[in-house]
Amino acid sequence: MRLEKKTVEEVAPETNEETTEAEAVIDSSEYQTLVDKYTDKNGKLSYELLNKDLIRFVHSSKTVRSMMEDGVSLNEIRSYIVCSKFRTVIGRKLTEAQVLKMADLLDEVSPKSVFKEVDAELRRLSVAKNK
């Protein structure tokens, strides 16, 4: 009698990871920690405080300097900066999708480009580097 080998396929329930991550971030303590960090004396979320902190990171990071020298796109550099800084503030590893969702939520609080100032600084540094 010959036994046939059968393979068993594990079928995971269908889930949309990005939706799950986004839902986890919306009301999370991590998001509240981020908001608390960048809230001004008047109790309002301050893009100015956020951007100043990110810009300080830009100027102190060897990795950012290296990325700029290597010609990495400004969007990729900003993504690295925001992910690194948000992970540091929150104190745990977040996925890029979670960080981007947090940035979207911050932008919804007061609709304007949440990273306007850091983007301008990255463009300024890029132009200076290319001269």
In a domain, 64, yes or no: yes
> Using an 8 Å Cβ cutoff, are 115 and 103 in contact?
yes
Read off the DSSP letter of residue 12.
P
Token readout for 82 is 């925001």
**What is the tens place of the pLDDT at every residue in 76-110?**
999 999 999 999 999 988 888 888 888 888 887 76
In a domain, 5, yes or no: no
Mean pLDDT value across residues 11-21: 44
In a domain, 63, yes or no: yes
pTM of the model: 0.74
Distance from chain centroid for Cα 104: 10
Q: What percent of the chain has pLDDT over 70?
A: 76
Task: Report pLDDT for 45.
Answer: 87
- Domain of residue 81: give its range: 17-129
Number of domains in the chain: 1
